[in-house]
Amino acid sequence: MSGSALAACALAACAAALLAPARAAPARRGRRGRSAYLVAGVGLVGAAWLLADEPRLLVLGGVAVGAVVAGGRLVRRRRADGVAGRVRARVVEMCDGLQAELAAGQTPATALERAAGDWPLLLAASRAGSAGGDVPSALRELATTAGAGDLRIVAAAWQVAHRTGHGLAGALGRVAQELRDAEQTRRVVTGELASARATARLVAALPVVALLMGSGSGADPWSFLLGHPVGLACLAGGVGCGIAGLAWIEALARDVERGR
């Protein structure tokens, strides 16, 4: 196998290591992340050594890996946002279900057990309720799950109702309504930010459109970008600026969403 082929395999291994989905338990994700970056670092060093005599291919490979990794991270983050949104919806459904069970005369422990049957994330809180343990503390621990932060509000309502003797069903109903209002506000903010995100993606894609138009008009911009040192520098700089712009827009949008 030639050095170029080996280098391509090494660069592909780097991208695969960084883009592989993390399905391990939360306590092991940190170790998994460090292992992925270690594999990627070794792969990059190996590719650089194999392509030491072909700097053009080394630059192109580095640009390709950087673009793939950055794009993959953005896609994974959007997917994580989608999962968090579904978890927030489950929290509201849980509040409505608990309120209905309590209004029907069920005990809080039984209502929580039935809710855990529909949503396994609540199993720890359900066990605490069945054993007479501290349900609010269990809910606060579960709130560390992505999208489940609203469980802290549920825990506070549970604790206040337990200490004051006021109806837990009414408290959960008010919490559910507040969470629905907050989710509605979040959707409005996300809709307002959608145009800015779409504009950023369009601007990032415009250079590719310009290159295709140039090729169609008889020019040969690809040979300059892929074969000339100055073109390689322009290619690397352009891809880097495009990725940085997309990441910046996403960071600004997240700040707005968090501070809605």
160-202 residue pLDDT tens: 888 876 788 888 888 888 888 888 888 888 888 888 888 888 8
How many Cβ atoms from other residues are within 10 Å of residue 44's Cβ?
18
Is residue 178 one of the residues assigned to a domain?
Answer: yes
How many folded domains does the chain comprise? 1
| Residue 27 confidence class, pLDDT cut points 50, 70, 90 | very low
Does residue 44 have a pLDDT over 60?
no
Is residue 240 one of the residues assigned to a domain?
Answer: no
At 23 the pLDDT is: 45
Is residue 100 one of the residues assigned to a domain?
Answer: yes
195-229 residue pLDDT tens: 888 888 888 888 888 888 887 777 788 888 888 88
Buried b (16+ CB within 10 A) or exposed e, 108-142: bbebbbbbbeeeebbebbbbbbeeeebbbebbbeb
Whole-number Å distance between alpha carbons of 127 and 141:
13
Of the candidate ranges 29-43, 143-157, 235-249, the one whose mean pLDDT is the lowest: 29-43
User: What one-letter code names the amino acid at 183?
Assistant: E
Is residue 201 one of the residues assigned to a domain?
Answer: no
Is residue 248 one of the residues assigned to a domain?
Answer: no
The structure tokens listed for 47 are 């590719």
At 54 the pLDDT is: 64
102-139 residue pLDDT tens: 888 888 889 888 888 889 989 989 998 888 888 989 99
Is residue 26 one of the residues assigned to a domain?
Answer: no
Whole-number Å distance between alpha carbons of 62 and 68:
10
Query: Which contacts qualify for 135-143: CB closer than 8 Å, 24 or more apart?
Result: 135/108, 136/162
Is residue 162 one of the residues assigned to a domain?
Answer: yes
Is residue 24 one of the residues assigned to a domain?
Answer: no
Question: Residues with Cβ < 8 Å from 43, sequence gap 6 or more?
Answer: 10, 11, 13, 14, 17
Average pLDDT over residues 46-63: 64
At 8 the pLDDT is: 52
Whole-number Å distance between alpha carbons of 115 and 125:
10
Structural domain boundaries, residue 146: 86-182
Average pLDDT over residues 30-34: 54
Is pLDDT larger for residue 27 or for residue 174? 174
Whole-number Å distance between alpha carbons of 238 and 227:
16
CA atoms within 13 A on the CB side of 242: 20
Is pLDDT larger for residue 107 or for residue 17? 107
At 22 the pLDDT is: 45
Give pTM, 2 decimals: 0.67
How many Cβ atoms from other residues are within 10 Å of residue 47's Cβ?
26
